[in-house]
Structure 1
Amino acid sequence: MADSRSDIFHKLKYPAVIALAIIGIVFSKWLLSVSQFLLLFAVLSDRRSRMRLLEAFRSPLVLSLISVYLLYLAGLLWTSDMKYGLKDVLNKFPMMVFPVLFYAAGPLPKKTAVYLILFFTGCVALLSIISLVNLYLSPVIPERIAIGQSHIRFSLLICLSILMLIHFSDLKEKWFRFSFIPVILVLLYFLFMLESFTGYVVIFMLACFLPFIYRHKIRNTAVRISIIGLLILIVSTALWGIYDVKRNCFPEISKVDADTLEQTTINGYYYQHDTETMLSENGNQVYLFVQEMEMVNAWNHRSSKKIEMNSACSPATNVLMRYLSSKGLRKDSLGVYSLSDQDIKYIEEGYSNYLLPHFDPYRARIYRFLWELNSYRCTGDPSGHSLTQRFEFWRAAVRLIEKHPVFGVGTGDINQAFKDEYDILNSKLKPEYRLRSHNQFLSVAVALGFAGLLVFLFSLTAPFLLHKIPDRKLYIGFIFIFLLSMLNEDTLETQVGVTFYALFNSFLLFILPSNPKSEDEKE
């Protein structure tokens, strides 16, 4: 009886711990941390795994995968902020844990490994459904739709789930064949609702990329033509969305002469005309025909959400002025009284353009992107704008790399180095928006120099050079998603991001077997 229990424990320990890590990466950071300790316990409890644990540190592939983490450890030697440095290497610990311990665990049976992958897609779909229900019960901004998750990180989990479902679409199980298309549709819809620019880019690139990877699976000519037609539809729809928003919301405007403009309101108060700031909504300049006193008094008469006088820089005043401009109305009492009750409600909800409530999530995200570009072009201040802030982040990062090209500023000094560089640049970014590079390649180069960047790039290519990848197409798809995510995000600087890479990279290399029955798997 004891032997039977022991056999069950050894058979289920790795699937159970990996399933716990999967639940953790989707639902709970705490479980994510616990799963790593349990994985270590599972390895140490097995004699064969203990032997493989020692072998892991002689494996060229494992050493290449953990080399980046070891370099971050070494980076503590030339850092002055040891507290931040230790916090950073602790955050990146999954880059050490999963390659070593998954190598020690060895491949699981093919069916078990595939079911774990499908379990992951099910968890992502479940959180998507729960979040959608919560959204309709209690509406929130797109960035907070995914419960307990960053909308950017979760968009990557969705894209990976869709890739995995497509990859295993030829599974024979009836329940899977019945459910995988509805699950993909749910994931696509939720990704659409997230308004994650990163997610949109990744899924768009995947749509273009996957047919080339899986072209040998598609033997039916009609299916091939349908896929090509679908690709053309996706590309044309995406481009049309950009064109439609640009045409309606951001047409080209010409500079006007203030002397040619009407100077007073219907009540005799003088307008303010800022002809230098060319910010516009639907072709109407925001800072022309502004009479703040009239506008605010009229607004406070019509709305329960009051605006204080002389608050021209407040978000509420800004939204009101932009909304009035989008309708071609002046920023005075007459303009406010010309608004409908529905317009008042939209402004109270934060809509800055009367077209926005009627946009789908994709066009709403494109609108925000184009507004950020327009604002940055007109004012040079990207503060609070997630996309254009990155231009300033990247500028500071490049300057830091130029100053510390070989070994970087050190693991712990990267935050302070960015703060100092923004001061040197006299950046218009407000202090609360002065962040790191939001590009993983630049982040590595800033912290560890070109030496660290070369090691990082080698670690990404090492599986193709040093290892027979069990499922090459699936692995290429995963790396493709990961590489895209690093172009505009510090993917490895958050717990979910670093675990996303370390967990799935190691799983696809060491846990997923290359054949239906791996020679290494236990009976």
Structure 2
Amino acid sequence: MKLVLNKRFFSFDALVLLFVVLFAIGMVCSKFLLSISMLSWLLTCLLHGDFSTYFKRIKNNLGFLIILLFYAIHLLSMLWTQDLDSGWDGIRVRTTLLLIPMLFTISFSPKGRNIILINHIVIASVAFIALLNLGHYYFLTRNFQALDIRQLSWFGSHIRFGVLASFSVAIAYFNFSKKNLSPLLFWIFVAFITYYTLFSQVFSAYLALAIVGICIVYARMALKGWTKYFWIFLAVTLISFGTFLTLLLNPNHAECGEFKNFELANKEWNARSEMPLGGLDKKNQPLQSTTERYMCSKSIEVNETNIRKLSATDIQNIENGFADEYQANNGFFSRISEIKYQLYEAKNPNGHSLLQRIEYWKTATFIVSNHFFAGVGIGDIDQTFGYAYEERHSPLSKEYQARSHNMFLTTWIGTGLVGITLFVLLFIVGFYQSVKRRSWLLFVFMLVSLLTMFFEDSLETQAGVSFFAFYYSFLLLGNVRIIQWSLKNN
């Protein structure tokens, strides 16, 4: 029996739009909103009860059918999973990847004004939360409580919000190109999100923002008929940035030394700080090593008496675990400084994100080579990584051993050759449809998702899977083909 609704205030389409808006806001800042909006949307569709139409739309939607098979292979992998608790938890997280595309497919009819409205809400939500994050982090910094840049994200995953914030620049550009966002507001938003992204130190967000920026340049050139010049621009940009990055990462000093006389160094240090030099800083790193690295970063010769040259702020930074001034101030150059240390001076990968990732990828490819066809099952991924780290005699200690931080490798390990094939097909369909429909925003989303998933297990968290499921569905799977996503003003 179909749900009877007041057509003016409680029409089915109006309720669906409400749930889409709530889910979009939840994607920015609230797991509760994600859950309640998705479940309410599902219940409304069930009560609406137009099952013959639902089935027809699902049957004719290739993108959703691939998602359905992708979800099914994860369920099937439970047959050869030993850790059922972990397996069902993985299924629970991935259920969003099934439900949101299904709900969009059966019930969302995109209309121009609603699309713009949803975009505006996402843009406003991202700007508001980013502003709150910066204010909160500033408060922590003033009270010497900001020990890790991940504290910047107040409401959820630091990485996922960073990627969403970067992608929101593309959303803002789309609205701007449709003359639904003023040039002033657009450029203020771009400047603010660029600052926030550089400050955040999230590599995936840097990558996403770079992709969005390049795609915006292409769109502007295409509108003016300058497409052939874009490739020259891209080549010059990549060469210039590569040269700039090479110069930044080039070691500009000799290898850092160390204190020769610990007793004398400890005496000098104790005159400046109450924390023992032989202990740990507030990030649980060896304080002596942090002190030596900090002095080296300031081009102060690492010897015992030169501890006197450190200012009170320097001492505070060292106690908080910052190995140089850039780290204490955060931002892009802080990230560069950390990478330089990892490349040239780190003795082992523990506690160093870049070196850890390399070790993750080596271990993941080792697992894939041993479980090429069937994978290990979605529930046994963590357990298999643990065994592989031991078998490879990995230098990573237990606390730093983790999954691959590469969604393609994680999918292959969990679901085997069939799973990774279906996952790749999702991207092939997305890119194909973006070109076929001349959908600039869909193309940007697919490119951002593809490249960031090489560095993150994006579908392993509620925030990550919600972002992918929402925009894959919103831009691709609505029950009307969205030709109007082209940047042309119709």
What's the TM-score bracket when you normalise by the shorter of the two chains?
0.7 to 0.9
- The percent identity for this pair of structures is 25
CA 66–3 in structure 1, closer or farther in 2 if over 3 Å, else same: closer
1:514 aligns with 2:482: yes
Q: 1:207 aligns with which of 203, 208, 213?
A: 213
- Corresponding residue number in structure 2 for 1:55: 56
Of stretches 9-18 and 339-348 in structure 1, the one that deviates more from structure 2 is 339-348
CA 67–337 in structure 1, closer or farther in 2 if over 3 Å, else same: same
> 1:264-292 CA deviation, whole Å, 9 max, x = no partner?
xxxxxxxxxxxxxxxxxx324334x4222
How far is 1:452 from its partner? 1.5
Say if 1:61 and 1:466, in contact at 8 Å, map to a contact too: no
Q: 2:196 aligns with which of 190, 197, 201?
A: 190
- Corresponding residue number in structure 2 for 1:455: 422
Other structure's SS at 2:177 match: coil
- Corresponding residue number in structure 2 for 1:475: 442
1:165 aligns with 2:172: yes
Of stretches 450-459 and 3-12 in structure 1, the one that deviates more from structure 2 is 3-12
Give the TM-score of the pair, scaled to structure 2. Answer: 0.87
How far is 1:29 from its partner? 0.9
Say if 1:110 and 1:515, in contact at 8 Å, map to a contact too: no
Partners in 1 of 2:149 and 2:280 — Cα distance? 31
Structure 2 unaligned regions, length at least 5: 486-490
Letter in 2 for 1:334: T
- Corresponding residue number in structure 2 for 1:268: none
Of stretches 128-137 and 66-75 in structure 1, the one that deviates more from structure 2 is 128-137
CA 408–391 in structure 1, closer or farther in 2 if over 3 Å, else same: same
Q: 2:307 aligns with which of 310, 320, 336?
A: 336
- Corresponding residue number in structure 2 for 1:9: 10
How far is 1:6 from its partner? 4.0
How far is 1:411 from its partner? 1.1
How far is 1:330 from its partner? 5.5
Other structure's SS at 1:487 match: coil
> 1:86-141 CA deviation, whole Å, 9 max, x = no partner?
01011111111011111110323221122102211211111111112223333233
Say if 1:439 and 1:488, in contact at 8 Å, map to a contact too: yes
> 1:203-236 CA deviation, whole Å, 9 max, x = no partner?
22333344335532235x8x99999889967974
Other structure's SS at 1:480 match: helix
| Residues 72-471 of structure 1 aligned to structure 2 (within 5 Å) | 72-139=74-141, 140=146, 141-173=148-180, 176-218=182-224, 236=240, 239-240=243-244, 242-246=246-250, 250-251=251-252, 282-287=253-258, 289-308=259-278, 314-327=285-298, 329=300, 331-353=302-324, 361-376=331-346, 379=347, 381-463=348-430
How far is 1:305 from its partner? 3.3
Of stretches 483-492 and 366-375 in structure 1, the one that deviates more from structure 2 is 366-375
Give the TM-score of the pair, scaled to structure 1. Answer: 0.82
For the pair shown, the structure with the greater C-alpha radius of gyration is: 1
Of stretches 341-350 and 158-167 in structure 1, the one that deviates more from structure 2 is 341-350
> 1:179-219 CA deviation, whole Å, 9 max, x = no partner?
22211211111111101112112222333344335532235
Of stretches 423-432 and 506-515 in structure 1, the one that deviates more from structure 2 is 506-515
Structure 1 unaligned regions, length at least 5: 252-281, 518-523
- Corresponding residue number in structure 2 for 1:29: 31
Say if 2:377 and 2:415, in contact at 8 Å, map to a contact too: yes
Partners in 2 of 1:99 and 1:40 — Cα distance? 11
How far is 1:79 from its partner? 0.8
CA 465–337 in structure 1, closer or farther in 2 if over 3 Å, else same: closer
Partners in 2 of 1:54 and 1:436 — Cα distance? 37
Other structure's SS at 2:294 match: helix
Say if 1:61 and 1:462, in contact at 8 Å, map to a contact too: yes
CA 510–30 in structure 1, closer or farther in 2 if over 3 Å, else same: same
How far is 1:364 from its partner? 1.4
CA 145–489 in structure 1, closer or farther in 2 if over 3 Å, else same: same
- Corresponding residue number in structure 1 for 2:488: none
Partners in 2 of 1:170 and 1:466 — Cα distance? 21
Say if 1:162 and 1:184, in contact at 8 Å, map to a contact too: yes
How far is 1:324 from its partner? 2.9
Other structure's SS at 1:437 match: coil
Partners in 2 of 1:361 and 1:167 — Cα distance? 28
CA 64–149 in structure 1, closer or farther in 2 if over 3 Å, else same: same
